[in-house]
Amino acid sequence: MIEYAENPDKTTSQEYLDEDLYNTIRYVENDNKTDRQIYVDTINCSKRNAYGEMVAVQKRFGSRGDIVAWHGFQSFAEGEVTPDEAFEIGKETARRMWGDKYQVVVTVHLNTDNLHCHFVVNPISFKDGSRFQNKIYNHRRLREISDDVCRERGKSILEHSNFYGGKSRRAYWAEKKGHPTHRDMLKRDVEYCLSVSYNRDSFYKQLFGLGYSVDYSRMSVRAKEWDRAVRLSSLGYTADVIDARLTRNLYTPRFAADVWNANLPKKRRSVLLFYIAHDLGYNIEHSRDVVEIYIDLLFLIIINTFQTIKEIKDAVIMSVELRHAVKDLEQFIYDYKFLREADIHTFPQLDRYITDTQTQIKDYERERGLLRNKIRRETDPEVLADNKTQRSEITKKHIEPLRKNLDRAKRIRDKSPHLYDLVRQEFEMEAPYRQLDRNGKMIFKDAPEKGAR
């Protein structure tokens, strides 16, 4: 059993006592999942004091970052291995992968039909203090080692399976981050265009209205901000498939009256985002310096644009990627409210908020650590109960809300530059269609609609 987090050595600095690391180790050692911890072992640290020894290594090398541990797993086909076999395979895999430099806790969980091993790895090497890099090449290496160990013991593996699950590397990581790929966005738009078209000409006009250009001979489609075109056949839309769908619509009773006329192609002529930004007094064309960018206004422009799109039927965002971001409207509203409540307007202010919040969390963690030490020494039941209550309140009332806000602020900081780039792209696409007179009044222009090629 590892109970070191409840009884930390009094010589350990509070900044090296970590609730997340402790909780991760406790999760993989859960009695209900590991059959009273029969299937729990460690590598390069003692089973009883793994938490303390991992913390000691981090303290020794002064390497305390945001990542306090790496959590990996290894699963087996249902019914193919016994708990003992899974445990031996897991330990051997961990030894080959991390045994020369890192501390690892290895367990087998028995609470699902598929037995699986969990690994908790100290990211700091006990040998030289180097940090384990959670890069794609290490993902590959772990998989190769796991396959080798399983083969040696006559167990099955996923032969010839693509590491990215049949996707491109870019698509794999976009999906991991919850971002739609170009192909995902195009497929949704193609489905819409096919559902409201009755021949090739109307189909291509629908695509053009959504911001795409079409190469008719290759049947490939490209948005202006994409590096390369995507062939429709690569998405499963061959010429035969497209023609069959369009012919079916053509012969559907009242299709033209009820569907096609109600969903005419969008007009590419639009200055929607520029109009909204201008109305808010925000000129993105003069905001090239990150210090000058008002993040809260950026979110407000996007929110107003998306809400207008929903209200005005013929309005359209010309940037395909920005248009598809409308699915995140509720998240944008949530983030905007957070920025306003925290009085954050610029990137430097956001960075200061993140730094200040991290400092507050450390202060509360230090206070909570002092209570842990009191709990360790306290013998009076009433005082002990009171100390535990105080410790719990510090976690729930202070640390958890601060961590939630910190995560939100970091997420906004990470995604804001990309959103800014999308807005700039939309401004550039709108440029041929807008003009201001001498009094600053908007003049709408009819830019020539070039061919779809």
- Digit-by-digit pLDDT tens for the chain (453 residues) are 233 323 333 333 344 344 545 554 554 455 444 444 567 889 999 888 888 888 888 888 876 666 778 888 888 887 888 888 989 999 999 999 999 999 999 988 776 667 888 898 998 999 888 888 877 778 888 888 999 999 998 888 876 565 545 555 555 545 555 556 788 889 999 999 999 999 999 999 999 888 888 998 889 999 887 888 999 999 899 999 999 999 999 999 988 888 888 888 776 556 677 777 777 766 655 444 444 568 888 898 888 888 887 776 666 777 888 888 888 889 999 999 999 999 999 889 999 999 999 999 999 988 988 888 888 888 888 888 898 899 889 989 999 999 999 999 998 998 888 888 888 888 877 777 666 545 555 454 443 343 333
Q: Decide: 315 and 308 in contact? Cβ < 8 Å.
A: yes
- State residue 13's pLDDT score: 39
pTM attached to this predicted model:
0.56
SS3 at position 434: strand
- State residue 283's pLDDT score: 61
Backbone phi, psi, residue 425, to 5°:
-60, -45
- State residue 415's pLDDT score: 85
- State residue 182's pLDDT score: 80
In sign, the C-alpha dihedral spanning 39, 40, 43, 45 is negative
Q: Decide: 107 and 28 in contact? Cβ < 8 Å.
A: yes
SS3 at position 388: helix
SS3 at position 264: coil
Parse the chain into domains and list their residue ranges: 4-152, 182-263, 272-436
Distance set, CA 87 to CA 126, 149, 197, 289, 302 (Å): 24, 12, 58, 55, 52
- State residue 185's pLDDT score: 86
Distance set, CA 394 to CA 363, 369, 426 (Å): 11, 10, 46
- State residue 402's pLDDT score: 94
**1.25.40.10, 3.90.1720.10, 3.30.930.30, 3.30.1340.10: CATH of 4-152:** 3.30.930.30
- State residue 77's pLDDT score: 82
206-243 b/e with 16+ CB inside 10 Å = b? bbbbbbbbbeeeebbbbbebbeebbebeebebeeeebe
Among residues 363, 382, 387, which one has the least CA distance to residue 6? 387
Which tokens go with 363?
Answer: 């202060």
- State residue 11's pLDDT score: 31
Which tokens go with 420?
Answer: 């800014």
